[in-house]
Each structure stands twice: as structure tokens, then as C-alpha cells.
Amino acid sequence: MTLSFDITTLRQGYLAGSFKPSDIITEVLSRIESGDSKIWISVDTKERLLAQAAELETKDPATLPLYGIPFGVKDNIDVAELPTTAACPDYRYFAEKDATVVAQLRAAGAIPIGKTNLDQFATGLVGVRSPYGVPGNAFDPEYLPGGSSSGSAVSVALGQVSFALGTDTAGSGRVPACFNNLVGLKPSRGLLSASGVVPACKSLDCVSIFALNASDAQTALRSAAAFDPSDAYSRQAPVQLESPRRAYREGMTFGVPSPEQLNFFGDQAYLNLYLEAVGQLESLGFKKQVVDFSPFLSAARLLYEGPWVAERYWAIQELIKEAPDALHPITKAIIEKGIDGTAVDAFDASYKLQAFRQATLPLWDEIDFLATPTAGTHYKIEEVEADPIQLNSNLGYYTNFMNLLDLASVAVPTGFTPKKLPFGITVIAPAFHDEKLLQVANKLHVASDLALGTSDQKVFPELAPFPTETLSIAVCGAHMSGLPLNSQLTELGATFNRAEKTSPNYRLFALPGTTPPKPGMVRDSSAGASIDLEIWELPKTQWAAFIEQIPSPLGIANIELADGTFVKGFSCEAWATSNATEVTNHGNWRKYIATLG
């Protein structure tokens, strides 16, 4: 069995001493050499790669999250001492330093192997617009590899590297993931620095991550993310939860486009697989809601029909003026359209986009994420060559709106067609909901029971918890799991921690006239007992919202636990127990409720 390059497997091997980084580099180079030469535009030298591995071998593998992990870099992202071409030989230059995102990953212990092929200047969703050839789709070379990040996706799917960087302005980090059985993370714009990245649409560009599973994508994201003052569009994710919807929780609501707004371009297999994926989400406990998808579709049309094409022209204006024949004919035809727009056109489009943004905002109060197909179909290369513009446009049906509307998304594999070609859906939410989406993607990927990439391996580690500050709260009654008021906690992003008991110093009363029935717990060291509790972790930013819902005579006090420590929790004013039924002898509110029938 070929060694899987997923991050968990490699880390376990490093920690156990089964192999070292230089062994993995040797294996990586062997796999690349024996594979499709059109996947990579350039590969670093064996000497330099082994030197990086040797330096890592002087360190403790446990101290670096990406220790010895090999990764690919799309060739519009700089890697020091390697050429950057953006798939245009006449544009080629040698990078003096790493792009910020590459530097972050290198600092975490990862090793950049080389530069992967792409649709020239990241213009296209097909993966066939490169003078360096077409990387073969990992499952059938007659079909598109997907673009523009074609080489990055195929290299991961074939197990040549553990993960790879792409870019995603219009879907280039998701469509290739779908076509090659990968997780494709399109982070919130600005979360990963674009400094050292050849721009496509500078105001919309986004560095993306191709990975074998959601855990690997999360590890790479957390290592690469950093605010970068040198990138004018860099942003930092809030550490705190400004909204409970940023945190994953069970039973979330997801939106699906209404049936007449779905488009599979005649591909019945993709339609069937999408319906199966939606059913799988429902079987996992998520709640489906049909939504109006029209504002998203209208926004999507602006990307190539509006003035944002002028950004593509701006990025390579000197080259297109001085050496227009250096461009791929289709790339040139698309980008040249950016010359004709006016300032009036730009403002007109910006006003339309703002209206579409406003139209979509209320939706996020109703749903936690959208679930759409990643692509509506999968074309053969010869089909796209016969109709390159329209078929490429079809592939952007579910992707082009994403960065215009400031959304985050994760493409996740969910099945295979009868022709044994991969299919997947994309889960979508507002910016900075990346971690929640990764959790959803992981749940769905596990349930789909698919092997990673082209391998026979199934490795799905648990994801790291959401990085937020919480405060423990002890609940003893209707807020406990499965009881009527538990939703007041979960809707604010609270998560269950553990079951506990109080010290033997408390009495429990059933308060009269409360709906739903509520207990009151008071401290009484002379006649008390130990009462069962649940400890929940509530984001600190949600405490005010939670406390607002607490009615008199209940309040929050310091509750002593059985081990003598204290935690914030529900308490009751003593006066309210004078006409209440004492239920201390039950020791547990659920047991008392059960006696009521």
C-alpha cells in the first residue's frame, strides 16, 4: 500500500520515527518524476529540498504543525528562488522572496516542492489554457482537470503532495477540487495574504487550499492565516464570535436553491448526486430550507459582464500592450474586453452589486449555510475546445458570485457518477465563517465514505475546536441537554462540556407557575445535597444576550462543584422557594420531571 500523504499520517510517522523529512522528499520527487509532466511548471532542485529537510530534522516534529509536510504552489504565487510564470513564458521572473502565505507555511514546517500549472493568468475554470499543456484529470484524462488551479488540484489528488495552494477569484479553488475528489477551501477574502501573488482581480483575489480532507485544510489555513500590512486587502478574522452563527452546532439550517434556479446543463448524474448530497445533509440532522437564489446568480453575472474584467487588464497591461501574442488566445480575448469599460460602467456595476448584497443579507438570518453543487456538470476537454467561452461560463454558475458577495466556502466530495468521475457540493456562508464550514464539510465527507483523492485511504481526523474564548456555565434545569430551554444556549454558540455535581450544599425546588417548568437551586450547607449539573461553554461575547433571557427569581451566582472549585451557574433567590415544592431528594431535575408524567 502506497503511503498516504495526508497530514495526520505523515505527522504520526514523523513522531514515531518511522521516517524523516528527507525520506518523504525523496518519495515526493519519485512520484512527480513518474507522473504527468504537465502538472508542474517547475520543481525545486533535489539538493535544495533535501537541505530544507535536513534543517527540519534538527528540530522536534511535535513543535511544528506542518513539520516536513510537502505542498505545491500554484505558479502565480511566489516561492523564493523559483520562477513565477502565471503560465505565460514571456511574463516569467524569479521571485526574490516567498509570498507571505508561503512564508507562513514554511515557518510552520511545510516544504514547498515547486510550482503547479494553471489556466494562464488564473483566467478560466477549465484547466486547458496553458502553454505548458493540460494536466490530466486525476480520474479520466479525457475530462477537464478544472481550473484555473489545475496542477495544484491534480498534484494533491494523485498523492504527489499533501496539500497545495491555489487562487480563487471566480471558482478556481473549488471547481478543480470537485473534479478531482478533493476538499477545496476558499477562505474569506483577505484571511490569507495575497502579497506575492500575481493579481487576477486584485480586489477579489483569494488564495485557496486544496487538501485531501477537511482536517488538513484546517491545519493549513491556521498555519497560513496572518494579517499582512503589505497587502492592502488583508483582513484578520475576529477572535471572538460576533455572531453565534459563526460556530458549528448540531441541527443547523441550510439553504438550497429553488428547483427552477438549479442548472445542471443536461447532466442527470450530477443532478442525482446533488439530491443525494442534500439528503445526506438532512440525515446528519441539518434542516433544509429552499431559498431564492436569484440575487446570487445576478451578482455572478457581474464578474465577467461587468467592469471587474478591467482589473484583469490592469494586472498585465504592460504585457498585453507590448507582447499581446504572448497570451493564450482565449485568455487574450477575455482580458481585452477590460479596455472598453468606462468609469460610469464601474459605478453602475458597483451600485448593482451593493443592491444584490443587500438582497442576500436577510437570508443569513434564516440559514446557517448554503449548499449548492460545486459545478453543474463536468465536460470533456474536446467539448470545451469546441466552445471555450460558454462552457467555461457554465462552470461558474455556482461560483462566480462568491467573492463579490464576500462569502467563504468549502467544496467537499460527496460521490461519483456512473462514469466514475467525482462530484461534490459547496457549503457557503458569510466571511469569517470558515471554521464552521470546515466542520460541516468534514461531517459530510465522513458520511459520504469516500477514499482520499485517487487513493484507497480513508483518513478523517476530528477538526480542532473553534478558537474562541468561553466561560463555563452550570445549568441544573430546563437549560440542560434535550430540555426545552437548551436552545437558548445552543443558539448563542454554547457547547456541552461535561456532566458534573454540586458540592453537597444545595437544595433544589420546583418553582410554581413557570412555563416550561423550572427549578430553583439555593445554597444551604445545613440541609443541602449534591445536585446533578451540566457544564456548558458559552462564548464570552454572548453572555449579555444570555443573561437578558433569565427571568426573576433566577440569577447567576458562583456554584460550588463536588471537587471544591467554583463555576458560574444558575441560582435562585431564597424568597421564591417559600411556596415551591422541594425536589432535592431526586438529585436531578430530569428525574423529577419524569415523575410528572
387 plus 491 within the same structural domain: no
Q: Is residue 462 one of the residues assigned to a domain?
A: no
495-501 and 369-373: which strand pairing?
A: unpaired
69 plus 212 within the same structural domain: yes
Would you call 392 helix, strand, or coil by DSSP? helix
β-partners of residue 114 are 43, 72
Q: At residue 241, does pLDDT exceed 60? A: no
Residue scoring higher pLDDT (39 or 342): 39
Instruction: List, edge to edge, every strand of the sheet that includes 470-475.
Output: 495-501, 532-539, 470-475, 566-572, 554-560
Q: What pLDDT, on the 0 to 100 scale, is given for residue 467?
A: 64
Burial profile 245-272: b = 16 or more Cβ within 10 angstroms, e = fewer? bbbbbeebebbbbeeeebbbeebebbbe
321 is catalytic: no
Q: At residue 69, does pLDDT exceed 80? A: yes
Domain end residue (candidates: 448, 483, 503): 448
Query: Which pLDDT band, with edges at 50, 70 and 90, does 468 fall under?
Result: low
DSSP state of 574: G
Q: Is residue 233 one of the residues assigned to a domain?
A: no
Q: What pLDDT, on the 0 to 100 scale, is given for residue 1?
A: 63
Q: What pLDDT, on the 0 to 100 scale, is given for residue 588?
A: 93
CA distances from 451 to 4, 211, 448, 582 (A): 11, 13, 9, 56
β-partners of residue 163 are 71, 211
The amino acid that residue 554 corresponds to is: L
Q: What is the pTM of this model?
A: 0.80
Q: Provide the number of structural domains found in the chain.
A: 2
Query: Which pLDDT band, with edges at 50, 70 and 90, does 307 fall under?
Result: confident
**Catalytic site residue from 42, 148, 193, 472:** 148
- Distance CA(131)–CA(52), nearest Å, equals 31
Return the sign of the alpha-carbon dihedral for residues 571, 573, 576, 582: positive
**DSSP of 537-548, one letter per residue?**
EEEGGGHHHHHT
Average pLDDT over residues 168-182: 97
148 is catalytic: yes
351 plus 491 within the same structural domain: no
Q: Is residue 243 one of the residues assigned to a domain?
A: no
Average pLDDT over residues 185-206: 95
435 plus 517 within the same structural domain: no
Q: Is residue 301 one of the residues assigned to a domain?
A: yes
Phi, psi dihedral angles at 555 (to 5 degrees):
-160, -175
DSSP state of 462: P
Average pLDDT over residues 182-202: 96
CA distances from 365 to 89, 245, 248, 253, 379 (A): 48, 9, 15, 10, 36
Q: What pLDDT, on the 0 to 100 scale, is given for residue 584?
A: 96
Q: Is residue 493 one of the residues assigned to a domain?
A: yes
The angle that helices 214-224 and 100-107 make with each other, rounded to 10 degrees, is 110
Q: How many CA atoms lie within 13 A of 198 on its CB side?
A: 29
Q: What pLDDT, on the 0 to 100 scale, is given for residue 240?
A: 52
Q: What pLDDT, on the 0 to 100 scale, is given for residue 151?
A: 98
Would you call 441 helix, strand, or coil by DSSP? helix
- Distance CA(139)–CA(180), nearest Å, equals 7
- Distance CA(470)–CA(502), nearest Å, equals 21
408 plus 497 within the same structural domain: no
What the block records as the C-alpha cell of 366 is: 434564516
Q: Is residue 459 one of the residues assigned to a domain?
A: no
413 plus 482 within the same structural domain: no
Q: What pLDDT, on the 0 to 100 scale, is given for residue 243?
A: 59
172 is catalytic: yes
- What is the domain range of residue 591? 470-595
422 plus 534 within the same structural domain: no
Question: What is the per-residue pLDDT across 398-449, written as a single tens digit (0 to 9) for each?
Answer: 999 999 999 999 999 999 999 999 999 999 999 999 999 999 999 999 999 9
Residue 527 in contact with residue 505, Cβ under 8 Å?
no
What the block records as the C-alpha cell of 113 is: 516542492
Q: Is residue 491 one of the residues assigned to a domain?
A: yes
CATH number at residue 516: 3.10.490.10
Q: What pLDDT, on the 0 to 100 scale, is given for residue 239?
A: 58
Range list of H helices, 422-477? 434-448
The angle that helices 434-448 and 268-283 make with each other, rounded to 10 degrees, is 110
Average pLDDT over residues 507-515: 94
Q: What pLDDT, on the 0 to 100 scale, is given for residue 246?
A: 81
32 plus 131 within the same structural domain: yes
Q: What is the dihedral of CA 234, 235, 237, 240, to 10 degrees?
A: 150
Return the sign of the alpha-carbon dihedral for residues 227, 229, 234, 239: positive
Return the sign of the alpha-carbon dihedral for residues 235, 240, 245, 250: positive
Q: At residue 466, does pLDDT exceed 80? A: no
Q: What is the dihedral of CA 410, 415, 420, 426, to 10 degrees?
A: -20
293 plus 391 within the same structural domain: yes
Q: Is residue 214 one of the residues assigned to a domain?
A: yes
Residue 159 in contact with residue 455, Cβ under 8 Å?
yes
CATH number at residue 437: 3.90.1300.10
Residue 508 in contact with residue 521, Cβ under 8 Å?
yes
Average pLDDT, the chain: 94
**Catalytic site residue from 74, 186, 443, 518:** 74
Question: What is the per-residue pLDDT across 318-338, written as a single tens digit (0 to 9) for each?
Answer: 888 888 888 888 888 888 787
Would you call 354 helix, strand, or coil by DSSP? helix
The amino acid that residue 108 corresponds to is: A
**Catalytic site residue from 172, 188, 455, 571:** 172
Q: What pLDDT, on the 0 to 100 scale, is given for residue 244?
A: 63
81 plus 158 within the same structural domain: yes
439 plus 554 within the same structural domain: no
Q: What pLDDT, on the 0 to 100 scale, is given for residue 338?
A: 78
Return the sign of the alpha-carbon dihedral for residues 451, 455, 457, 460: negative
Question: What is the per-residue pLDDT across 112-138, written as a single tens digit (0 to 9) for each?
Answer: 999 999 999 999 999 999 999 999 999
Q: At residue 104, does pLDDT exceed 80? A: yes
Q: At residue 483, does pLDDT exceed 80? A: yes
Residue 148 in contact with residue 167, Cβ under 8 Å?
yes
Question: What is the per-residue pLDDT across 549-589, written as a single tens digit (0 to 9) for each?
Answer: 999 999 999 999 999 999 999 999 999 999 999 999 999 99
Q: What pLDDT, on the 0 to 100 scale, is given for residue 482?
A: 87
58 plus 126 within the same structural domain: yes
